[in-house]
Structure formats: structure tokens, C-alpha cells
Chains A and B, each alone.
Chain A
């Protein structure tokens, strides 16, 4: 515990010492990913020290040993509740470095999968928050909704949690037959589950009391600490990468950015609830407008062509061989590309020296700055308030610790 963070005067006056208590890493609310060292006066948190790093895997170093395309499975494990969004962020960063643009259909597919992943992330977050406030029933409702979303994603790429679906210059497979009908029926069920969840919690007095006015942060502080995503929007700042720096086809889509007022946990909850609806809206629009055409860049240097081409065209054959052995030769340079992850701005900063492997792959995890602001938010409130605040900040170990 750092000395500067201690409130000495209080203890001198009261002639008592704070009860120092370890919350985590194996604690039901921190589930192995983080540890809080709390100094409690009664139940009031006088002092908090957040220790992260329990899920550190050396992601950024690991990427330097992988071919450009081999990084995708690692990005899955950043925010594993919404892994396709990380795939997309990384792919866009590499494409920016190369200077290629994927075909129109691919953009639509990426948006659809990305929004489905965002929904899965929000379902997990909202459901888990309800669970940790004791509302197990609401949690199960959203787990069901998430399962259904995962079923759709599974029908596209075969994976449920870690999608590994996007590639440099395209995606691995086209949408399956009957995808649109499938999505329509799942969305119908999920809207029902959303309404049930909403009825159980949003106007529930107990839930309101737990969430309202707890964990609040002002918009100035939030910006200063580097908040992004739902937690920033809950403060009343309408910053969303999808609107601020549109990528893929977000500038052509009609959707709204829900914005809160007070920046407390309840607004964060409401923002996420509304984003679920907006994500469904985006997916439905995309499904309506999605054009035909190729899903991959038609250039064997960047995106591996079909096996037919590989066995019949000399150039495809060569690049297949070279890309498999040496990796895609991304031109030397550096690029930063941010996308709106489920938690906020997920940024990839890549450096290439023209070789087949990244020289540097740095991720800007959205929950890291928010976790660092946790002491600021939570000091002085009750131990019980730490639970909804921590849930709404949504520390994802994989993303924060990398």
C-alpha cells in the first residue's frame, strides 16, 4: 500500500488502525483477475490499492514472435467477452499499415460480427453485475441471450468464445445460408429477454439504490483519466470511436450513441442496456443493405486466395508459399488504429520493419485507465459499493493485464 494514499489524519484522530483486508485474487467478485488491498474503517473504504497483472501473458511480447496473421488468436484473448472486436481492430491496424481496403461485403460482415460480439460483451457484463448484486435470475436471462448470440457467431466461424474470424484483408468465411432469418429469430427472443431483464432490474428499487449515486465520476475527471466507452458516455460525453472516427461502414449506418448524465453506475448500466438495442439496430441495417461480392482483398500478396487459385495461378502459389513461411510482408512504418470495443476504445499501435512479424504490437486496453481511476472513484464509499463499481468498470483480466 503506498504511503501517499493513506489518510493518516483520520487514524491519528480516532486512535484506531484501518482493518487491512485482501479482496482477491480468489474472491467471488474479483474471480482471480485482480486484487484489492483495502483499508477499511468499519465498512468504509479508506484506502484501496488495486493490484493487476494476475492474467498477464506477455501478449505484446508474444506478438513479436508471431507472423502478422498469427497474432489473431492472441487478440481473441484480450477482451474475451467480445473477441471479434479485437480481431477487427488488429486487422484494421494492419490494413492501415499496408494501405489496403477490404471489399464492401467484408466491411458489412465485420460490422455484423463486431456488433454481435459487442452484444455478447454487454450481456456478460450486465448479467454478471446483476449476479454480483444477488439477482441470479436476471443473470441467467442474459446468459441465455448470450448463448443465442454465440450460436449465431458459431454458425459463421465455428467458434463461440474466441472467434478468430478476421484476417488481414478479409475474413475467413462468408456468412452461412439462412443467416439473416437466424439473426431475426434470435433478436426476437433476445428482445424478449432484454425486456424481462429490464423489468426485473431497471425500476427495481433495491437495484436502483445499489447503482444510483455509487461509483460516480465527473466528466472532466473521466476524460483526464482516459475513460472511454460506456463509462465515459455515462458521464455525458458522447465520445464513441464509431462516430468520432468512423471506420468500416459506421458512417453510413443510422444508430445513436446513448449518453448518460451523472456518470454513476446506474447510468453506465443504462448506457450499456441501450447499446444492446443500438447494436441490434446496426446488425439489422447491415443485413438489409449487405451487398454481394468478394469477402477478401483480391490480392494474393495480402490475403491468401482460394485453393483453386493457388493450384492454378503462379502468383497465388508463390504468395501462398511465402506468406505461410515468412508471413505477410507488411511495409515498414507504424500505425495506430482504434475501434470501439465493448468496453471502450481498443487501440492497436503497430510497428513494422517490413518483415513478416510485427516489431511492436501495443494494445490500448480500455479498462486499464478505468481500473487505475478506481481508487479515485471508490475511496470513501462503502465496501458494498465496490462491487457494482468494479462490475460496471468491467475489468476484463485478459485485456487489462495482456
Chain B
């Protein structure tokens, strides 16, 4: 690996980490407050101020961070100290590294150097995502077990059962998509969506609905938040967590939202592609700026479009969260195994028939 590639990779990793932890995690905390406030006829958080400037409540994320850093890190008596400390780390890391294979732009040639806007262009990108997201289960289960609290234990058990079940269903929902694009590489899948009529959502919208349901269930948010159901299990697996460890679970949840949105964008919404315009046409539109600058502009537009779609899907997830009540734990299981799993198998069959008969032309 040359110096240029190394710098490129480090910049991309920095960009993704900055985007998720630095930007989206605190922004989502704010959006969650403000969007719920709008949906509920409230004003929402607007009191934290800096010399009188409240910046429409944005400073609350900062205030939260400062408060939580200075909070006592409490480990209950009888808890497994090492695992109790390790659990939030195990929970947060998979959600971050799953983003490595999600392309947030296409391939661009800038000053003779080819830039591929994905951290790791793996041939088995889709499988990698599922492999990594299963790891997140460990963090939750360990947290529930190591806390020495019955509520945490119940939450951890619920979480493990739920996450493993939906892992299976989620994997099956994208099989049809993989058959359609004939690739497991996220970069390939995005590249094949340059034509609007090849977008995943056009051909595979049932798979999208199922995938989103599974993804939200993986992330344990309402309506699938049985593992942390505050009315039943106090706070479920993170009942005994305080301070920054608590925030790490929280951050993991928000980053996972971003990852889910990123996956949906890459698999179903054409990644960085602008509808009806291919990358080449986009760069061609700015050809008067010279080949390098026009590619740079196309790249920035591509990244911007990706982030725009990401935000739209994040808002969709937030809206679901603030509209729905919570499933009961056994109903979640029933939905996963008896509804989503057969439906996704059916969809695989339909896609197979469609591809064989040529009704569903593979791009």
C-alpha cells in the first residue's frame, strides 16, 4: 500500500468517524428531542445556552456530554467488573466498523489518483455487515449478564433472542437483492444502481420494508425495544450503567441508526447516485472546470446526495420511533419467525422466478 492509499484510507476513516460519532450521534440526540417535540406539539429542549445563545437547542448535546463525562461511573456490587466495563465497548464498536463497507460515493480520478469512496471495498461486503452486526449482540448480552441485576439479565436475554432471530430474517431479506445485482460487494451493488430504474427500491420495495423492520429490530428501538422497555424492565440491559458507559450504549444506538440508514441507501436507494444522472454525466456537466475539478465537484455532489438520503432515512426511523407503541417480547419473536422469515423466503422465490423468466432483468 502506497503512501497515497494510506493517506486516502485514513482520511476516509476520519470522515466516517467524524460523520457518525462527531456529527450524527449528537445531532440525532438533538433531532430525537426536536422531532418528537414537533410531533407532540411541544417546544422541545431549548434551555442550554452559551452566553445567551441557545442555537435552537443544539447545545443540549454538548451539555449532556459534559454532564455525563463528569458523572460517577458506578459499578454495582457483585457485578463482573471487567465485563461490565467491556460491554459498552463491545456494543459500540461493531456499529462503527460496519460502516467500513458502505460506499458513500463512487470512484473518481483526481489528479491521476483513483479515489474510491468506501473504506474497505470487500467482495463480501454484505456478508461482512451481517457478521459484524451479530457481534453487537455480545455487548448487550454481556452487559445484561455482568450487571448482577435481574432486570438487566431479562433485558440481555430478550436482546440476545431478538437480535439473533432478526439476524436470520435480515440476512434473508437481502438475498433477493444479491441475486438481482449478482454481487455481494456493496461497491458493485451501488455501481449497478446508476440507472434510476435499477434502484433496489424500484424492484425490491417489499424487501426494503422487511429489511427496515429487521434493521430497526436489530437496533432495538421502538416498536422493537422490548430489551430496554422502560415500563417493564426499568431500562433493560443498561439499567446498571451510568456516565460515559451509558452514553456508549446510547451512541451505539444512534450510530447503528446511521449504519442502517447507510445500508438502506446503498442497497435500495442508489447510494450516491442522483436519479437519472450517471456519475459520468454529472462530472461531464462540470467539464468546463477541467477534468480534475469537475470530478471533485461530482464527488462532493455524490457525497452530499448520499448524506441527504441518509438524513431522510434517519428521519423516517425517528418518525417510526415516535409513532408506534412497543411490541411484546413474544410478539416480536412471532413477527420475526412467522411473518418476516416466510415473507422474505417468498420474496427470494419471486425474485428467482422473475430473474429466470426475464421479468426482472438483472442490471
Residues of chain A touching chain B, judged by Cβ–Cβ distance below 8 Å, are 19, 21, 27-29, 40, 43, 130-138, 140-141, 144, 200-201, 204, 206-207, 209-210, 382-387
Contacts and interface: CB of A to CB of B under 8 A. Distances in A.
Main secondary structure of the interface of A (DSSP, over half): helix
A134 B231 CA distance: 8
Interface stretch (B19-27, B67-75, B305-313, B318-326): B318-326
Given A132-B231, A140-B40, A384 B325 contact: no
Contacts of B323: 135, 137, 200
Contacts of A19: 150
Contact of A384 (B36, B42, B223, B229): B229
B39 A209 contact: no
A138 B323 CA distance: 8
Contact of A137 (B40, B154, B225): B40
Given A134-B222, A206-B223, A384-B229, A144 B324 contact: no
A133 B328 CA distance: 9
Question: How large, as a class, is the contact surface on chain B?
Answer: 20 to 34
B229 A134 contact: yes
Contact of A134 (B36, B154, B225): B225
A207 B325 contact: yes
Contacts of B322: 136-137
B49 interface: no
A137 B39 contact: yes
Contacts of A385: 328
A140 B41 contact: yes
B329 interface: yes
Given A28-B234, A137-B40, A387-B231, A204 B324 contact: yes
B159 to A, nearest CB: 13
B226 interface: yes
Given A43-B154, A132-B231, A134-B223, 5 more contacts: A43-B330, A133-B325, A206-B326, A383-B232, A384-B226
Interface in B146-169: 150-151, 154, 158
Contacts of A138: 325
Contacts of B324: 134-135, 204, 206
Given A132-B231, A140-B42, A383-B232, A21 B327 contact: no
B362 interface: no
Contacts of A136: 36, 40, 322
A28 B223 contact: no
B331 interface: yes
Contact of A133 (B234, B326, B330): B326
Contact of B232 (A29, A137, A144, A201): A29
Contacts of B223: 134, 206
Contacts of A40: 154
29 contacts: A28-B231, A29-B231, A29-B232, A43-B154, A131-B231, A133-B325, A133-B326, A134-B222, A134-B223, A134-B225, A134-B325, A136-B36, A136-B40, A137-B36, A138-B325, A140-B40, A141-B40, A201-B325, A204-B325, A206-B223, A206-B326, A206-B327, A207-B325, A209-B331, A210-B331, A382-B328, A384-B229, A384-B232, A384-B328
